[in-house]
Structure 1
């Protein structure tokens, strides 16, 4: 649900305190660490919470969470599954990769990148945006974290070889 709050970006002059919801017994210094089951597993509790919030805030029910911030969320009775398949597909489109050729490894182990190899890119903006997108893709693709770290080291002055390595990672 989307809660509208006019004071979201306002200056707060009063002291604000937070306490756990009724029925919760947590140490005072652990107020924010509420068990997932407190709200997430009981449909009646969720409904009661939504009703309570409706009385105090203007809200809009957005329905079941399916896609948020580039993450696809699928749920079963016991689990949540996160995917960034659409995000990855959009990244390939922005990279102008239309081939169905893929790579079996995220990076050739013999590649050694330096800040001086290749020709400087005329406009490094696209490279930076694409590498930023790769960084976000590591939320669900931990297997590319290391190679994304490598190409992100060259965001200040990317060269053609760095862009080529980015393309290799994207094709992986």
Structure 2
């Protein structure tokens, strides 16, 4: 028997199927990421299609995608019925683009770290980690050169 995406599941069934705690489900619901109705005895009842949303939240957390980004994507999906295949394809394209951008940023960071720290020279002229006289404090907290390196063209590895 095939499951109907409009079937209703209790919070206990959702917890059993997803491994997500009740408190996390309540949190996701408060954030507008998932939705439930109230059933008999005021118990939360979820549409079966919320399983996919919860699964995507779990995956997003593993990939360190902020919940605010998940919320932005989920805001484009219907909440009152199961999203269509076309809806999920659109979401997938948006996330694919975001993941590609993250991958490029990580590769640039890896290049900067390998080129700067990996050689051991810590060049006073080329090193992106040095901050003589704390001149970068006005640009914000943390390693601002590395954080902003995604905006710069890649440096040649040859001198």
**TM-score, L = length of structure 2:** 0.24
More helix by share: 2
The structure, 1 or 2, with the larger RCO (C-alpha pairs under 8 Å, 6+ apart) is: 1
More strand by share: 1
**TM-score, L = length of structure 1:** 0.23
